[in-house]
Amino acid sequence: MTSHLRTLPLFAALICLAACAANTTLTSSWRAPDVQPISAAGKTVAAVYMSRHESQRRAGEEALAAEITNRGARGIPAYTIVPDAPQMSADAVRAKLKDAGVNAVVVMRVVGRDQRITYSPGYVVADPYLGFGPYWGYGWGTVYSPGYLQSDTLVSVETLLYGLQSDKLLWASTSRTTNPSDLAGLVNEVAHATANEMVRQGLLAPLPR
């Protein structure tokens, strides 16, 4: 667990076995009906990760900005432009972002965490206790396997894309990630899954091959 993770109670339950691989699925998405396909090339996009903890906010915005840059745009952590954003009005933040040449803003916020416990029962096969010979092979082949409990942490995140000039919502999605290892992993997975869905729906131009 990273030092960032320890500071946010919301992620306190994200301690999991190394074998638990994280995966992200989009549970819902919305696209503005009149928005045209967007090419990330040449665009400056501010990354906003909403958290009451400054260290979490910075780590999240850096991870999100890096994923945006990987998509061909210029991703900028919003804290580098508006370090006091949580205390500023939307108008003041918008003005500073525009002055910095920002074209769009991606906002990410954790909206929920659930714990899911799955029980896998043990098994035993009907017994052919007819004699030592038949039982010997059967017994070794059907040793009882006890049941076990598996606990999974499900983190829900909303991701919003705003056009800064139009001040309109262009895209929105809600995702669910199972057993994220840390904050950077969570942000990267959600950003990656969201960007792929935007490409699939024709909103975001795919990366050049």
Per-residue DSSP letter, 130: S
- Domain range enclosing 50: 22-120+153-200
Model pLDDT, residue 71: 85
Contact indicator for 195, 44 with CB cutoff of 8 Å: no
Tokens 């745009």, residue located: 73
Model pLDDT, residue 15: 28
Q: Which of 23-27, 42-46, 68-72, 115-119 has the lowest mean pLDDT?
A: 115-119
Q: Beta-carbon neighbour count of residue 96 at 10 Å?
A: 17
Residue 182 in any domain: the answer is: yes
Residue 164 in any domain: the answer is: yes
Model pLDDT, residue 58: 93
Residue 131 in any domain: the answer is: no
Span 187-205, average pLDDT = 86
Q: Beta-carbon neighbour count of residue 105 at 10 Å?
A: 21
Q: Which of 17-26, 37-46, 96-105, 185-194 has the lowest mean pLDDT?
A: 17-26
Residue 140 in any domain: the answer is: no
Q: Which residues contact 161 (CB under 8 A, 6 or more apart)?
A: 104, 105, 106, 107, 169, 170, 171, 172, 198
Dihedral of alpha carbons 123, 124, 125, 126, sign: negative
Element (H, E) at 199: helix 183-200
Q: pLDDT by residue (tens digit) across 82-124?
A: 999 889 999 999 999 999 999 999 999 998 888 888 766 654 5
Model pLDDT, residue 135: 62
Residue 144 in any domain: the answer is: no
Which CATH number belongs to the domain containing residue 27 in this structure? Answer: 3.40.50.10610
Model pLDDT, residue 74: 93
205, pLDDT greater than 80: no
Residue 102 in any domain: the answer is: yes
Q: Beta-carbon neighbour count of residue 65 at 10 Å?
A: 26
